[in-house]
């Protein structure tokens, strides 16, 4: 029951109607018998500063942040964690005694999901498709957790090169190539896939409703040596994941990353162990109803 003692956490974005987060977190609060509620709040750009000021003013637990605000919120916070500063984006805000602390749980959520799928990237090589915000979180997390080499493919090589330069500063070998290297089946690209144990698809290609789209990766470059992880989770199996599965690779979609970034946020807000299976079931129910 919501009463005067109920504490809230919110999702800040624009728009937010599509989000599965309210179902996941409210199921978790109920499972742990916490007097808390989670709301998705659509915040127009002109009202972002006011929305962030409301977090301590209303004594909220904190907030999740989604597009288009993950980078913009940083300047409004009292403190950010080292990994979120490297990534350059925040997706979780924790309110403590009037101070707002920014975290990025996308990377840690991704790493837990990959390990759950049976692959530890430490000491291995990886390929990342895309160079946007999600790719940056994935790349920085892999670099901080011992990956040996990263090769980034992006439509525009310039953006990928910027991300590769950041990764090299962390002491990890990194290179970037354009999408044209994939389309042309170039030797450098083929070699990068041959060395990798992990292939991460971070773009929106294949996301509902444009489910036929896929990165231009020759299917013969994928084998049973690979875990292919697609951050898209709707549909559950993208065209890219289907091709990878047929090539013999182990595959996983982005539902695990969505789950575990939420698990980390829940634990930061509440100080309690998250009910992982309850949260997973809530997400799966959302997908089935979608």
Instruction: Tell me the CATH architecture of domain 107-253.
Output: 3-Layer(aba) Sandwich (3.40)
* Helix axis angle, 255-270 to 276-289, nearest 10°: 130
Residue 274 pLDDT: 98
What kind of fold does domain 7-103+259-289 have according to CATH?
Rossmann fold (3.40.50)
| 7-103+259-289 matches 107-253 in fold | yes
Cα 24 to Cα 21: distance, rounded to the nearest angstrom: 5
* pLDDT reported for residue 2: 87
Q: Say if residue 116's pLDDT is above 90.
A: yes
* 25 has pLDDT over 90: yes
Q: Tell me if the pTM is above 0.75.
A: yes
Catalytic residue among 43, 55, 70, 160, which? 70
| Residue 253 bridge partners (DSSP) | 230
Domain ranges within the chain, ordered by starting residue: 7-103+259-289, 107-253
DSSP secondary-structure letter at 71?
T
Task: Give the ranges where 101-222 is alpha helix by DSSP (H).
Answer: 105-116, 133-144, 157-169, 179-183, 187-195
CA distance 163 to 176: 8
- Is 169 noted as a catalytic residue in this protein? no
Query: Which of 36-40, 263-267, 284-288 shows the lowest per-residue confidence on average (mean pLDDT)?
Result: 284-288
Q: pLDDT-derived band of residue 184, with 50, 70 and 90 as boundaries?
A: confident
């Amino acid at each position: 029951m919501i009463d005067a003692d109920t504490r809230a956490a919110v999702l800040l974005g624009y728009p937010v109607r599509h989000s599965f987060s309210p179902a996941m977190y409210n199921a978790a609060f109920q499972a742990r018998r916490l007097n808390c509620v989670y709301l998705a709040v659509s915040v127009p750009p002109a009202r972002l500063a006011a929305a962030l000021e409301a977090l301590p003013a209303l004594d909220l637990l904190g907030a999740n942040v989604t597009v288009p605000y993950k980078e913009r919120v940083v300047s409004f916070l009292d403190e950010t964690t080292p990994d979120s500063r490297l990534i350059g984006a925040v997706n979780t805000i924790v309110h403590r005694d009037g101070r707002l602390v920014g975290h990025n749980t996308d990377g840690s959520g991704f790493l837990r999901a990959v390990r759950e799928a049976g692959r530890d990237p430490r000491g291995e090589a990886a390929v990342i498709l895309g160079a946007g915000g999600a790719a940056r979180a994935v790349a920085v997390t892999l670099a901080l957790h011992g990956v040996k080499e990263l090769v980034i493919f992006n439509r525009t090589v310039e953006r990928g090169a910027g991300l590769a330069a950041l990764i090299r500063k962390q002491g990890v070998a990194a290179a970037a190539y354009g999408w044209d290297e994939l389309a042309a089946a170039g030797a450098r690209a083929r070699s990068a896939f041959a060395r990798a144990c992990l292939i991460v698809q971070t773009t929106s290609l294949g996301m509902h409703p444009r489910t036929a789209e896929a990165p231009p990766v020759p299917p013969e470059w994928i084998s049973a040596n690979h875990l292919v992880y697609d951050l898209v989770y709707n549909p559950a199996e993208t065209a890219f994941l289907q091709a990878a599965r047929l090539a013999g690779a182990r595959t996983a979609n982005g539902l695990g990353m969505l789950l575990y970034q939420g698990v980390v946020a829940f634990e930061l807000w509440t100080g309690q162990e998250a009910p992982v299976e309850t949260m997973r079931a809530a997400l799966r129910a959302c997908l089935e109803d979608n």
